[in-house]
């Protein structure tokens, strides 16, 4: 795989790095990638929606009128589904949306996500994403120096208080430690800014 530039936070080239072909250069597996994204989205769902059936709603214990002689249709309860205030038919009830993937599939999905970023030249490697004062203004200046717009995923080898403070109020920025990267956040980001040391950490785990 060809070498890519390593920049400083001013956007200046300081060196270059060669990415591991077995991770960043594979042919992405779209099926596994789709399953991993579905799993991530499903995991975010609570599944707590609930409606009451006719046996759960309050009232309706007495027959509203006698069976015969009134000229009206026979009714056994005012809480049947066709009555106002009655039970709900086929409504949602608490459930789990969890989806299962084995370990090999998860690793392949993560590799595929990284490979897509490399394939589409959406990776920016920095030597160190360092912020001195923890100000959001400084984080904005760094992103401007790197010509980054849109949704951005920043991956660092180790989180620092200043970096967290500087990026937490930026709506389109996600900050993750190298050990926390996941398929969904990588795919959903327009650009991936990653520290050189974080690349080494990721490659050690995925090789």
87 domain-assigned:
yes
Q: What is the pLDDT of residues 139-164, one digit of tens each?
A: 999 999 999 989 999 999 999 999 99
Q: Which long-range contacts (CB under 8 A, 24 or more apart) does 74-77 make?
A: none
pLDDT exceeds 80 at position 54: yes
In a domain, 39, yes or no: no
> Does 71 lie in the same domain as 28?
no
| pLDDT at res. 130 | 85
pLDDT in tens, 7-42: 999 999 999 999 999 999 999 999 999 999 999 999
65 in the same domain as 14: no
Q: Domain check: are 106 and 157 in the same one? A: yes
- Residue 131 confidence (pLDDT) above 90: no
88 and 107 both lie in a single domain: no
Q: Average pLDDT, stretch 88-115?
A: 95
CATH number at residue 151: 3.40.1370.10
Confidence band for 81, pLDDT divided at 50, 70 and 90: very high
Residue 171 sits in the same domain as residue 89: no
Confidence of residue 102 (pLDDT cuts 50, 70, 90): very high
Q: Does the pLDDT at position 121 exceed 80?
A: yes
| 110 and 90 belong to one structural domain | no
Q: Do both 90 and 159 map to the same domain?
A: no
pLDDT at 1 over 80: no
Structural contact between residues 54 and 79, judged by C-beta atoms closer than 8 angstroms: yes
Place of tokens 């530039």: 5
Question: Are residue 174 and residue 105 in the same domain, yes or no?
Answer: yes
Looking at the structure, tell me whether residues 195 and 122 fall in a common domain: yes
The pLDDT mean for the chain works out to 93
Cα 6 from Cα 150, distance rounded (Å): 21
Mean pLDDT calculated for residue range 164-188: 94
Question: Do 27 and 61 reside in the same domain of the chain?
Answer: no
How many domains does the chain contain in total? 2
| Structural tokens at position 43 | 């995991």
Helical residues (DSSP H) of the chain, grouped into ranges: 21-24, 30-43, 103-119, 136-145, 161-167, 183-188, 196-206
Domain ranges, residue 122: 3-32+100-206
């Amino acid at each position: 795989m060809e070498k890519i530039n390593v920049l400083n936070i001013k956007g200046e080239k300081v060196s270059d790095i060669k990415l591991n072909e077995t991770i960043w250069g594979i042919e992405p597996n779209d099926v596994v990638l789709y399953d991993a994204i579905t799993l991530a989205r499903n995991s975010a769902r609570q599944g707590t929606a609930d409606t009451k059936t006719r046996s759960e709603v309050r009232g309706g214990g007495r027959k509203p009128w006698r069976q015969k002689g009134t000229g009206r249709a026979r009714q056994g309860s005012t809480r049947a589904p066709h009555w106002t205030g009655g039970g709900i038919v086929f409504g949602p009830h608490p459930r789990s949306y969890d989806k299962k993937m084995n370990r090999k599939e998860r690793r392949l999905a993560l590799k595929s996500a990284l490979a897509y970023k490399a394939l589409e030249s959406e990776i920016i490697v920095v030597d160190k994403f360092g912020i001195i004062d923890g100000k959001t203004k400084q984080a904005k200046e760094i992103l401007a120096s790197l010509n980054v717009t849109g949704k951005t995923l920043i991956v660092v080898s180790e989180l620092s208080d200043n970096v967290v403070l500087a990026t937490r109020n930026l709506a389109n920025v996600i900050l993750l430690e190298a050990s926390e990267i996941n398929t969904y956040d990588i795919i959903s980001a327009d650009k991936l800014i990653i520290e050189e040391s974080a690349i080494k950490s990721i490659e050690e785990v995925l090789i």
